[in-house]
Amino acid sequence: MKFAILNGSPKGAESVTMQYILYIKKKHPEHEYNIINIAQTIKKIENDEKRFEDIILQIKESDGVMWGFPLYVMLVCSQYKRFIELIFERNAEAAFENKYTFVLSTSIHFYDHTAQNYMHSICDDLKMKYVGNYPADSWDLLYPKRRARWLLFVEDFINHVENKYPTSKHYTPLKMRDFKYTPGKELDDSNKIDTDGKKILVLSDETNENTNLGKMIKRFKDSFSSEIEIININDIDIKGGCISCLQCGYDHKCSYLGKDGFIEFWENVVMTSDILVFAGVIKDRYLSSRWKMVQDRAFYMTHTPTLIGKQMGYIISGPFNQIPNIAQTFQAHVEIQDSNFVDTISDEFGTSEDIDALLHDFARRLVTYSNVNYIKPITFLGEGGKKMFRDDIYGRNRFVFLADHEYYEKHGFYDTFPQNDERAKKLNEKLIPLMRIDRVRNKINMKQEFLRPFIKVIEDSNK
Ligand SMILES: Cc1cc2nc3c(=O)[nH]c(=O)nc-3n(C[C@H](O)[C@H](O)[C@H](O)COP(=O)(O)O)c2cc1C
């Protein structure tokens, strides 16, 4: 059989992910494997129609399609995302229809589920026969048991193709709302919100005031009594997407430094703001590949937070609420930065008046929370993510990300790891020997024990 492999790593043949494919090729040489370096050659694919058509033809002529990519900031990299956009823009969906497919990702498992969810929904949108996903850890191939597991997965896939087994669909097509947002009369000065000297920045991939998003941003801007900054991310000087050279791991210095204006922009404009609003139009099942490029390029600070203590939120045009996957990535992005996720305002629900009111209140909340430095507790999305980073930087990836390790040491990221919590240590030392005595354990009322320190707080008039 003939398989088309769509390589989503900007490293091309030097990709870890592609070693998983080469392993299958070694074990099953009876099939033909056609690896196409999508992410690495995206500029050529985009600019040379013939190259794009050639790839589409290879997909058409294959018995199955294997999507293989590294995780890049909770999703696929911007270059791969651009290819997906091109499929829809150039009406090439038919080549994918009814093709058996699976999705392989390699990563440290940080938000691999959101990347996998994204790709699954794309496969369903393309009407492919999605057999399953394989969210590998980058190092899986180095362990015999895990190699065997990977082989089983692919053999099951091949079985599906050979026997034409049925596959299920999980995502219904997105419903686009036919809605034109028309903002109301501009507020008079007495109803405008004072920025209280806060630096407010909106980054958007669409600022044209004839579009819903452009109008929403203008309305948001007009909520304030003084100027706020609005930047179209298409105007930033970015030469290209992250190429994963990982030079930044050692000292947080990007290899693009001096070659384009991204780092200067990030450090002088984005990092210095108090309130950050990201705005965008939904493109397929995420934001645009341009937005993804910005997110990927900001990875030069690797796993070190750069947007600490800010109020952050989103203004979105498109079917945002039909894609809960995006909401998760938005919130996680903010939570792992130790910033406050305020809200996402979209044009998906309500009348123009409702949206006016929501935007105005969004502006009010951003400034109010900023004034009192309110950062709400983070959820599993941020807590789980931060713990994964901590473990990985402390352990197997320390030599790659030395700059993170130094930052983590200096800023107490390891204080609770490996379990240096003095309070917990003392409790365990005292209570574990007692818990091992049946007579004592059976007498203890665990509910009351848990409550004891809380009752002290409630009863203490000074607290
Ligand atoms: C810009 C960038 C962003 C990344 N983002 C993530 C991520 O969100 N989650 C994760 O688990 N790994 C992330 N990684 C790690 C890669 O996914 C992982 O090292 C992968 O195995 C590399 O595969 P490749 O050699 O095929 O490119 C990121 C790496 C880079 C360079």
Whether the pLDDT of residue 419 is over 70: the answer is no
Check if 109 has its Cβ closer than 6 Å to any atom of ligand 1. Answer: yes
Task: Quote the DSSP letter at residue 186.
Answer: P
28 in Cβ contact with 158 (< 8 Å): yes
The residue ranking higher by pLDDT, 428 or 167, is 167
- 19 lies in the same domain as 57: yes
Q: Write down the pLDDT at residue 278.
A: 98
Q: Would the CB of 106 count as within 6 Å of ligand 1?
A: yes
Ligand 1 atom closest to residue 109's alpha carbon, by position in its atom list: 11
Domain that holds residue 149: 2-163
Residues 284 and 430 occupy one common structural domain: no
Is the pLDDT at 420 greater than 80? The verdict is no
The whole model's pTM is what? 0.95
- Are residues 440 and 341 part of one domain? no
Nearest atom, ligand 1, residue 108 CA:
11
Task: Classify residue 404 by its DSSP letter.
Answer: H
Torsion sign (Cα): 54, 58, 59, 61: positive
Helices 402-410, 380-394: crossing angle, 10 deg rounding: 110
Domain of 323: which CATH number? 3.40.50.360
How far does residue 76's CA lie from ligand 1's centre (Å)? Answer: 9
Q: Residue 257 pLDDT > 90, yes or no? A: yes
Question: 430 and 373, same structural domain?
Answer: no
Atom index in ligand 1 nearest the CA of residue 299 equals 1
Measured from the CA of 296, which atom of ligand 1 is nearest?
A: 1
Residue nearest to atom 15 of ligand 1 (CA): 107
Is the pLDDT confidence value at 416 over 80? Answer: no
Whether residues 83 and 152 fall in one domain: yes
Question: Does any ligand 1 atom lie closer than 6 A to the CB of residue 307?
Answer: no
* Mean model confidence pLDDT for the chain: 96
Task: Please check whether residues 362 and 230 belong to one and the same domain.
Answer: yes
pLDDT tens sequence across 116-137: 999 999 999 999 999 999 999 9
Q: Identify the bridge partners of residue 65 per DSSP, sorted by sequence position.
A: 4, 101
Asked if residue 112 has its Cβ within 6 Å of ligand 1, the reply is yes
Show which of 323, 358, 378 is a domain's final residue: 378
Question: How many residues in total does the chain contain?
Answer: 463
- 130 vs 133: CA distance, rounded Å: 8
